[in-house]
Amino acid sequence: MNNNSLVISIASGKGGTGKTTLAVNLAAVAGAVTLLDCDVEEPNDHLFLDVKWGESREANVLFPRVDTNLCTGCGECRKACRFNAIVILGKQPLVYPELCHGCGACFLACPEKAITEVPRAVGVIERGPFRDIEFIHGRLNIGEVKGPPLINDVKEAARGNDSHVIIDAPPGTGCPTVEAVRNTDYCVLVTEPTPFGIHDLEAAADMTRQMGVKHGVVVNRSDIGDDRAVRFCEERGVTLLGQIPFDRKAAEAYSRGELLVDALPKYKELFSDLWQTILKEARNA
């Protein structure tokens, strides 16, 4: 990316607040932009985009392989593993793929050099264009439980692009969301004016603050509750980027897999103005 391009992450403390709606419609009005769907456990941005799929490749993590001819069963690999992914059965180590983080500590700790690191597929990365959007997403393999390595690979796939980058992060505030938001220039937190929405917005705002990522808030379905989201922004000194009222026609368009900026003309101006506001805030961050 060049010095003028920005990386904007879009996150939420809970699912169902409209994060995907915001991401795909902002991308649709942003001109030449790269959109990353980093919700690798359940990517769905592509459902709203007629992507012309091109590249598809496996994403791998390094996994320890033990040479039983060299292993003496000393247990140093087990002691080095902070994730309890290795147990010693008899005199042979057994590695649990679900617990292994691919950190390489066991490889470094083995005095007999009996451990090598080999690639293990955890998912796929797919990319393709839609209008002016360069779209990239990751899909975690069924049964895999660790999304952050794949999310990191999706972000790396966009490195070198000259356009602004929009990242649709996973919901919540766990490790996958942290990995998606990490090192972004600005984070848009999407919420709704309900008790659950504000509770989880607080967690998301605390997450971005602790990560040192400047953030602002968009209130979706802003007229279904009260003004608690606005009061939250005022009390915390967080920028209120915009509010989107509930609209049955918008909900119907969403259910059909349509972009709101295409289905309902008024949303083109709304999302265009919101995108300019986000860019301004991000540049002043």
- Tokens at residue 64, please? 């320890």
Arithmetic mean of pLDDT, 49-77: 94
Share of the chain above pLDDT 90, in %: 84
Residue 1 has pLDDT above 70, yes or no: no
Please provide the DSSP assignment of 219-276 as one string. EESTTSS-SHHHHHHHHHT-EEEEEE---HHHHHHHHTT--HHHH-THHHHHHHHHHH
- How many H helices and E strands in the chain? 10, 11
């992060």: which residue's tokens?
A: 169
Dihedral through CA 96, CA 98, CA 103, CA 106, nearest 10?
A: -10
pLDDT higher than threshold 60 for residue 2: no
Chain Cα centroid distance, residue 8: 11
Query: Which letter does DSSP use for residue 163 in this model?
Result: S
> Which range is least confidently modeled, 90-94, 118-122, 235-239, 251-255?
90-94
> What CATH architecture is 7-59+127-283?
3-Layer(aba) Sandwich (3.40)
Mean pLDDT for all residues in the chain: 93
Categorize the per-residue pLDDT at 126 as very low, low, confident or very high, splitting at 50, 70 and 90: very high
> Residue 179 in contact with residue 150, Cβ under 8 Å?
no
- Per domain, the residue ranges of the chain are 7-59+127-283, 68-113
> CB neighbours (10 Å) of residue 265?
9
Please give the Cα distance from 26 to 32 (Å, whole number).
11
Tell me, rounded to whole angstroms, the distance of Cα 179 from its chain centroid: 7
Architecture of the domain defined by 68-113:
2-Layer Sandwich (3.30)
> What token pair was written down for 145?
């439980």
The pLDDT of 147-169, averaged and rounded, is 94
In eight-state DSSP terms, residue 5 is -
pLDDT above 60 (res 19): yes
Per-residue pLDDT band for 3 (boundaries 50, 70, 90) equals low
CA dist 156 and 150 (Å) reads: 10
Quote the pLDDT of residue 16: 84
Tokens linked to 204: 């998301």
pLDDT above 90 (res 241): yes
pLDDT tens, residue by residue, 194-220: 888 889 999 999 999 999 999 999 999
Residue 187: CB atoms within 10 Å = 27
Reported confidence tier of residue 227, pLDDT bands at 50, 70, 90: confident
User: Does residue 225 register a pLDDT over 80?
Assistant: no
In angstroms, the CA 237 to CA 45 distance is 31
Residue 154 in this model has a pLDDT that exceeds 70? yes
List CB contacts of 161: < 8 A, sequence separation 6 or more.
1, 5, 34, 134
